[in-house]
């Protein structure tokens, strides 16, 4: 699969591009009806121009993530010296077959075998028992998993390394890493691609999606 790469000169033009070019990886959970923050109908209204995207750039969680991202990317690179890590902050990548299926990456990885992969950086909190359960035994919150699958669909690349810094109730930080291989999730990728095509059809025809898409 050939890859489309569009570069924007600054954050403002990049944000406009994200809105106009299609559906990004951060929207994947909403497309599937599993987002804790956005319903499929809300996302559809945004993508059809009936509702503005909520500006959360000033929230404490987002600002913390923005500040920590460069340090976490450097930490990942230091912990994985056998891998090349690159970052193009204002590039939007997309499938050539589906140019509306897009992703902006926290990092591009080339592993020791020359394979291309995605670096996805997260920051979050571990406050409740449910927070710990979402990360227990190698798991990852389902909305983050959907995002990593979308990134592999958009790029055609072979894996995603999810690198998360999580703060507990005492204020202590810990790092969780999850390596997600395309080859292990072909069925999940096919399922998500079907959901993506269905949702994009709703956008193109301006047909409101059902309250919850069938999982």
- Whether residue 139 is contained in a domain is answered as yes
In a domain, 210, yes or no: no
- At 198, give phi and psi (nearest 5°): -65, -45
CATH of the domain at 181: 3.90.320.10
In a domain, 54, yes or no: yes
Average pLDDT over residues 149-176: 96
In a domain, 214, yes or no: no
pLDDT at 212: 61
Structural domain boundaries, residue 91: 3-205
pLDDT > 50? residue 169: yes
**Does residue 196 lie in a domain region?**
yes
Position 84 in a domain:
yes
Q: Is 45 exposed, middle or buried (0-12, 13-18, 19+ CB in 10 A)?
A: middle
If pLDDT is split at 50, 70 and 90, which confidence band does 17 have?
confident
Q: Kindly report the number of other CB atoms within 10 A of residue 177's CB atom.
A: 12
Structural domain contains residue 170: yes
Residue 36 lies in a domain: yes
- The total of structural domains in the chain comes to 1
> pLDDT for 177-193, tens place per residue?
999 999 999 999 999 99
Q: What strands, in cross-sheet order, belong to the sheet with 84-86?
A: 84-86, 107-110, 116-126, 159-168, 173-181
Q: What is the pLDDT of residues 152-163, one digit of tens each?
A: 999 999 999 999
**pTM score of the predicted model:** 0.92
Q: Model confidence over 39-51: pLDDT tens digits?
A: 999 999 999 989 8
Of 10-19, 79-88, 157-166, least confident by mean pLDDT is 10-19
Residue 174 pLDDT exceeds 90: yes
User: Mean of the pLDDT values across residues 132-138?
Assistant: 92
Position 215 scores a pLDDT of 47
The Cα 108–Cα 84 span in angstroms is 8
């Amino acid at each position: 699969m050939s890859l489309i790469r569009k570069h924007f000169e600054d954050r403002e033009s990049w944000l406009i591009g994200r809105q106009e070019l299609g559906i990004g990886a951060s929207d994947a959970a909403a497309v599937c009806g599993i987002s804790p923050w956005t319903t499929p109908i809300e996302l559809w209204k945004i993508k059809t121009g009936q509702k503005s995207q909520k500006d959360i750039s000033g929230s404490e969680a987002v600002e913390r993530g923005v500040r920590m991202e460069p340090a976490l990317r450097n930490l990942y690179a230091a912990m994985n010296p056998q891998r090349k890590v690159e970052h193009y902050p204002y590039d939007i990548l997309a499938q050539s077959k589906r140019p509306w299926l897009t992703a902006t990456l926290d990092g591009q990885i080339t592993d020791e075998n020359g394979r291309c992969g995605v670096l996805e950086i997260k920051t979050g909190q571990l406050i409740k028992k449910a927070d710990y359960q979402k990360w227990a035994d190698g798991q990852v919150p389902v909305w983050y998993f959907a995002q990593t699958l979308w990134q592999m669909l958009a790029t055609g690349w072979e894996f995603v390394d999810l690198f998360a810094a999580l703060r507990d109730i005492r204020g202590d930080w810990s790092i969780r890493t999850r390596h997600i291989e395309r080859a292990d999730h072909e069925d999940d990728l096919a399922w998500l691609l079907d959901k993506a095509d269905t949702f994009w059809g709703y956008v193109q025809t301006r047909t409101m999606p059902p309250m919850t898409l069938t999982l």
